[in-house]
Amino acid sequence: MSKIKKLIVAKEIDKRVKELADVLYNEYGDEEVVFICTLKGAVFFACDLLKKYNGDARLEFLRVSSYKGKESTGKIELNLSISKENIENNNVIILEDIVDTGHTLKFLKGYISDMNPKSLKICTLLDKKMRREVEIEADYCGFEIDDLFVVGYGLDYNQKYRNLPYIGVIE
């Protein structure tokens, strides 16, 4: 395994995820929320956030891909879809691992909006704002980070390092 420099340690992630769960709960209260976890990167984030979420929650999965190695291709492929009945007239929150160029999020937002949710918000664990190529912002964000390629806590480099309990940078 290559050496990984820690950027955000497990304890810090845990604390921030709890804060986000509480912010979301305050927003939705007794109204049920459909959380959409985008595979594979957001899976750790989604599991941890849902365990800390005090309200009524449903969990759905979507799979899109755009990345080849460290470069975003800008071309989004939908690998696992979601059925409209799970979205229509529901409060929906898309859980993303990271927003980079924004192409993926723009695609996802359009895809879900077309299914007429009651409301739609985006919650990302990480945000690399300065990398944006399309105009789109998440509604909730765990951490803003610099232009670094990060791995761990679900994020991969060619499918490796997802299992790290922290977020780090390959040295």
Q: Does 152 bind ligand IMP (CB under 6 A)?
A: no
Nearest residue to 142 (alpha-carbon basis) of 7, 6, 5, 3: 7
> Is there a catalytic annotation at residue 100?
yes
CA distances from 1 to 26, 148, 149, 158, 170 (A): 41, 19, 16, 13, 10
Distances (CA, A) of 162 to 42, 63, 101: 10, 16, 21
Q: Does 101 interact with ligand IMP (rule: CB under 6 A)?
A: yes
- Active-site annotation holder among 30, 100, 127, 147: 100
Contact string (CB under 6 A) for ligand IMP, positions 17-56, x = contact: ------------------------x---------------
Shortest Å, Cβ 18 to ligand IMP: 22
Query: CA 150, CA 140: separation in Å to the nearest integer?
Result: 19
* Binder among 48, 97, 100, 127 for Mg ion (CB under 5 A): 97
Residues that bind Mg ion (CB under 5 A): 41, 97
